[in-house]
Chains A and B, each alone.
Chain A
Amino acid sequence: MTQLGFFIDVAKCVGCKTCMIACKDKKDLPVGRNFRRVVEYAGGEWEEVDGAWAQDVYAYYVSIACNECADPACVKVCPTGAHAKRSSNGLVLIEREKCIGCRACEQACPYGAPQFDAVAKKMTKCDACVDLLAKGQQPACVAACPQRAIEFGDVVALRAKHGALAAIAPLPLPATKPSLVVNAPRTAKASGDKSGTVYR
């Protein structure tokens, strides 16, 4: 079975959030509903030295959508089977008709991927732009990134190319076996680090 997933090059990311806007434009998402989200993590201290300032400040952004987990928490808690993992490509998708809008998946997902549509009373989320994949194109966020910091494809190949790291702070430890590969910047802190502040 192929398992598709994302590679996020945090070292290249500049936090512009073009990925979020491209996603919103492609998926017609209103304010408040974001299939892709970019969080900022920043920390460090300042110390006065003879009227001047020394510091060890760090900061970076992490862009996250659905991580197409190998052990998806959302699927486990879905009472109707609407949230399911496709055997052909490992994508975790919501079957809209089956969704009763109970929001259990929203509570379960450690990445905040499920985004509730309060108007339709249905859960929605990143579907890796399956329509574009069918046409041989890349997901909207991948094609959009001005810094070429997002890749999508067979996660085995992505790991072979970029390594096996699946989390840095403020992402949680990879308990759900996310199909996610991360390249850490020089300044990155390990998952679980609490030295910095998360800005959403």
Chain B
Amino acid sequence: MSRRSGGRLIPRREFLQQSAAVAALAAAGTPVMPVARALAQSAATGETVTWTSCVVNCGSRCPMRVVSKGGKVTRIEPEFDVADGCAVPQARPCQRGRSMRERLYAKERLLYPMKRVGKRGEGKFERISWDEALDTVAGKLKDTIAKYGNEAIYFHYGSGNQAFVSNRNAAMRFLNCIGGYLNFYGDYSAGQTIAAWPYTYGEFSYVGFGNGAGSLASQIANAKLYVTFGNNQAVTRTSGIGQTWEIACAKEAGKTRTIMIDPIYTDSALGKEDEWVAIRPGTDAALVEGIAYVLITENLVDQDFLDKYCVGYDEKTLPASAPKNSDYKSYILGKGPDGVAKTPAWAAKVCGVPAANIARLAREIGGTRPVYISQGWGPQRQANGEQTARAIAMLPILTGNIGLPGTNTGAREGDAWLGEVSLPRPANPIKAAIPCFLWTDAIARGREMTAKRDGVRGVDQLKQPIKFMWVHQSNTLINQHSDINRTHKTLQDDKKCEFILVVDNQMTPTARYADILLPATMMMESPDMAADSYASGRYTFLVAMQKAVEPLGEAKSNYDICRELSRRMGVEQKFTEGRSLEQWIEWCYAETRKKHPSLPEFAEFWQKGLVKVQPATHDGIVLKDFRADPVKNKLKTPSGKIEIYSERLAKIASEWELPKGDVISALPKYVATWDSPSDVKAKKYPLQAFGFHGPGRTHSTYHNIPWLRETHPDLVMLNPRDARKRGIKTGDKVKVFNDRGALVMPAKVTPRIMPGVIAMPQGAWYKPRPDGIDEGGAINMLTSQRPSPLAKANPSHTNLVDVRKA
């Protein structure tokens, strides 16, 4: 069909005619798909129904029905006309996706190309033509390459568009066609885990069932006990075709007892848990060590498992290179170099969980089989996050709850993956890469950055600082990066980073820092394609993102923006390979279909809009093969086993240049860091503060949606004890501050957060008052740019602050 129509997607009129034909079939009793039925119904009302996907960075990519009339989107609908259940649920987007109409028509929508006319960051712009905008960008690219080389071009970390073609791949593909750009690695979500996990298990993966992934949440049905650290799925995986639903189904089937460990009594708890363990932020590893002490001393460890599958639990399996008494058991029992026994009483003082509760937890975990243990990414988003991620994995390792039904590796709950193919990009000729968190350093002191000090990869040292930034649907330039005041100073100097291009569809705080600002289309305004992503659990699907309405203003798809630039740079053929956006969508589908031959032809897929696909049956138990035969199915660690003691980390610890206080160690250990409660700064700033993922946004996306600000207002949570000391009541405007910055926002006094800790939803848009204080709650006024030791990643949740009535 598609080939006969010249490789183009089905024209709209033909699409409607076809659906009329399908409606006739429906009347004749032939079973048809839901989209066709919806379209048939719409003939009477003048409404059309198309499909799109919420392709922001939540990892669920909810499919949704878009109802339009008279050229405007009039409402969003869930999938409602198919059977619903645990195995194949209806696609029910959460509150964020359901607000998409307000986002499409938001007053912050970018409509025209603009150039900066004030100081950088001031937000003063003047409308210009597309030709002027694109010529300027192309000219700056040529200048930058001539003057500094391609390594001075940086494609900035960002995740605001996760469709297949008009996503960041389009820009990276274009930049690779013109000689490449400075790479980044890691991410702001799970940077510390990404770096740390391979030292224990040999690899890390967000998706699929490889050894670096997590077991499917469905396995919780086979567990007697589910223990999870810092994991608020109800907010981060809200989708009705995602993991909160999967977990609810699993728990109902398995009647699985649940223990949630978190500084906040989260929306995932609310009585769905059997026990809430309130813990100080950043101290999960101390809790684990207190539990380990009881497991070891009361003989509740799985010694056979530790002997056969692991390295470094005790002297028996310690590598030859390791010093005496450097094994895990010695460390926990106080026979290691620090001489401190990690008793529950010791752990209680650090983590805030009463010693008796720690001992009881240990006995329950050690005395139950099987136990499913997982962690969200909050615990690792800390100055000691690499340690915490590996430490939590010690619980399933010590108890042998690995590779069996009802178990997990300690990773976040797993995700089935179709291996979908999106827009390809040729190899980047530039090999240099920086940790994604260190881009402000690469602007300020690029030439000083080295492999052993700053985690530079591909080269020993950077040749150039960043001079040109390409920022695509990202708010990480100012809002989502740490220490806004410091970032502002770095960016405002246009002698340092000489040019900033921002491509987006909303006037975000980041967009205010653009030199040239280009308006991108939103989903619903341009065709594309999406698949379930890293947070849809066992559910897998493909979505035809059909164009519903014309773009507002002069917005263009990111693919077309890059195509226009490729023409100006003389690489159009290389960039397009002769394909339009629509033809690339077809190409992506065809490549994906090669992996899943049961998928329908493209034309049928496009007409259906949503296709749910079950990949080859897999029970989703990670490390099952390794457990069955560890000799035949070695891990990718040097020993082929689970490395409790990592020789590689011991080597890095001896070679890297670390600032005072930063610890990299062969064993996973609790490390008290800067801005932890034991820091001397706690005298001045006695409260720990962190920005959690709230239900009112996906990171910073959807911040400008009035419905979501009404239903999920930005409030800073304070325990009644801390509020009372400061005379603060719910609704009072308070100032939250430390040496890095300050913000004002209303307070919510609630017992749902533990004493000594305050928290606010992260992602509120930075709105500085004339005195430099943020109005509204941009947490990054308070966060630090000091990276974590190993990953050089964002320690977003490591902050000491104080609060007072504003």
Cβ B98 vs Cβ A14 within 8 A? no
Interface 1/0 per residue, B743-760 and A, CB below 8 Å: 000001011101100000
Cβ B271 vs Cβ A17 within 8 A? no
B708 within 8 A of A: yes
Interface 1/0 per residue, A45-62 and B, CB below 8 Å: 110111111110111110
Cβ A18 vs Cβ B707 within 8 A? no
* Residues in A neighbouring B248, C-beta threshold 8 A: 12, 147
Interface residues of A in 79-110 (CB under 8 A from B): none
From A25, A38, A58, B271 is in contact (CB under 8 Å) with A58
Complex Cα gap A16–B270 (Å)? 12
Q: How far is the CB of A194 from chain B (nearest CB, A)?
A: 15
B354 within 8 A of A: yes
* Residues in B neighbouring A138, C-beta threshold 8 A: 80
Q: How far is the CB of B524 from chain A (nearest CB, A)?
A: 14
* Residues in B neighbouring A32, C-beta threshold 8 A: 710
A158 within 8 A of B: no
A191 within 8 A of B: no
**A18-B721 CB under 8 A given contacts A13-B270, A55-B751, A147-B248:** no
Cβ B238 vs Cβ A14 within 8 A? yes
Interface-located stretch among A111-119, A171-179, A180-188: A180-188
Cβ A146 vs Cβ B271 within 8 A? no
* Residues in A neighbouring B695, C-beta threshold 8 A: 15-17
Cβ A25 vs Cβ B75 within 8 A? yes
Please, which residue of chain B has its CB at the minimum distance from the CB of A32? B710
Cβ A55 vs Cβ B270 within 8 A? no
Measured as residues with beta carbon below 8 angstroms from the partner, the interface class of chain B is 35 or more
Residue of A17, A53, A60, A199 most packed against chain B (CB within 10 A): A53
Cβ B354 vs Cβ A57 within 8 A? no
Q: How far is the CB of A41 from chain B (nearest CB, A)?
A: 10
Cβ B234 vs Cβ A50 within 8 A? no
Complex Cα gap A53–B263 (Å)? 11
Cβ A16 vs Cβ B271 within 8 A? no
* Residues in B neighbouring A137, C-beta threshold 8 A: 80
Cβ A18 vs Cβ B98 within 8 A? yes
A1 within 8 A of B: no
Cβ B271 vs Cβ A188 within 8 A? yes
A42 within 8 A of B: yes
* Residues in B neighbouring A76, C-beta threshold 8 A: none
**A46-B244 CB under 8 A given contacts A25-B98, A52-B354:** no
* Residues in B neighbouring A51, C-beta threshold 8 A: 348-349, 352
From B245, B354, B710, A53 is in contact (CB under 8 Å) with B354
Cβ B711 vs Cβ A20 within 8 A? yes
B276 within 8 A of A: yes
* Residues in B neighbouring A144, C-beta threshold 8 A: 78, 92, 98
Please, which residue of chain B has its CB at the minimum distance from the CB of A37? B711
Complex Cα gap A135–B38 (Å)? 12
Interface residues of B in 332-382 (CB under 8 A from A): 345, 348-349, 351-355, 357
Q: How far is the CB of A26 from chain B (nearest CB, A)?
A: 6
* Residues in B neighbouring A43, C-beta threshold 8 A: 751
Complex Cα gap A199–B749 (Å)? 10
* Residues in B neighbouring A156, C-beta threshold 8 A: none
Residue of A11, A21, A48, A145 most packed against chain B (CB within 10 A): A21
**A14-B92 CB under 8 A given contacts A21-B707, A25-B101:** no
Complex Cα gap A21–B64 (Å)? 14
Residue of A31, A146, A185 most packed against chain B (CB within 10 A): A146
* Residues in A neighbouring B711, C-beta threshold 8 A: 17, 20-21, 38
A192 within 8 A of B: no
Q: How far is the CB of A116 from chain B (nearest CB, A)?
A: 16
* Residues in B neighbouring A121, C-beta threshold 8 A: none
Interface 1/0 per residue, B59-77 and A, CB below 8 Å: 0000000000000000111
Complex Cα gap A46–B753 (Å)? 10
Q: How far is the CB of B53 from chain A (nearest CB, A)?
A: 16
Cβ B80 vs Cβ A42 within 8 A? no
B205 within 8 A of A: no
**A52-B349 CB under 8 A given contacts A31-B710, A147-B240:** yes
**A52-B271 CB under 8 A given contacts A21-B708, A197-B750:** no
From B94, B348, B707, A16 is in contact (CB under 8 Å) with B94
* Residues in B neighbouring A53, C-beta threshold 8 A: 278, 352-354, 754-755
A165 within 8 A of B: no
Q: How far is the CB of B249 from chain A (nearest CB, A)?
A: 10
* Residues in B neighbouring A25, C-beta threshold 8 A: 75-76, 98-99, 101, 707
Cβ A21 vs Cβ B752 within 8 A? no
* Residues in A neighbouring B98, C-beta threshold 8 A: 18, 21-22, 25, 144
* Residues in A neighbouring B84, C-beta threshold 8 A: 148
B450 within 8 A of A: no
Complex Cα gap A186–B719 (Å)? 23
Cβ B265 vs Cβ A11 within 8 A? no
Residue of B234, B238, B270, B707 most packed against chain A (CB within 10 A): B270
Q: How far is the CB of B799 from chain A (nearest CB, A)?
A: 20
Complex Cα gap A12–B354 (Å)? 30
Cβ A146 vs Cβ B755 within 8 A? no
* Residues in A neighbouring B76, C-beta threshold 8 A: 25
Cβ A199 vs Cβ B748 within 8 A? yes
Q: How far is the CB of B780 from chain A (nearest CB, A)?
A: 25
Interface 1/0 per residue, A135-170 and B, CB below 8 Å: 101100001111110000000000000000000000
From B265, B706, B707, B730, A57 is in contact (CB under 8 Å) with B265
Cβ A146 vs Cβ B754 within 8 A? no
Cβ B706 vs Cβ A31 within 8 A? yes
Cβ A16 vs Cβ B754 within 8 A? no
Q: How far is the CB of B511 from chain A (nearest CB, A)?
A: 24
B95 within 8 A of A: yes
* Residues in B neighbouring A13, C-beta threshold 8 A: 270
22 pairs, A vs B, C-beta closer than 8 Å: A11-B272, A15-B270, A17-B712, A18-B238, A21-B99, A21-B707, A25-B99, A25-B707, A31-B707, A38-B711, A45-B751, A46-B754, A46-B755, A51-B348, A51-B349, A53-B754, A59-B270, A60-B270, A146-B93, A147-B245, A185-B272, A199-B748
* New A-B pairs, 17, CB < 8 Å, besides A48-B755, A52-B353: A13-B270, A14-B244, A16-B94, A17-B712, A18-B98, A18-B238, A20-B95, A20-B711, A25-B101, A46-B755, A50-B354, A57-B751, A59-B265, A59-B750, A146-B239, A148-B240, A148-B245
**Nearest 9 CB-CB pairs, A to B?**
A146-B240, A185-B271, A14-B234, A187-B271, A186-B271, A18-B95, A52-B348, A52-B354, A143-B80
Interface of A with B (CB < 8 Å)? 11-18, 20-22, 24-26, 31-32, 38, 42-46, 48-55, 57-61, 135, 137-138, 143-148, 185-188, 197, 199
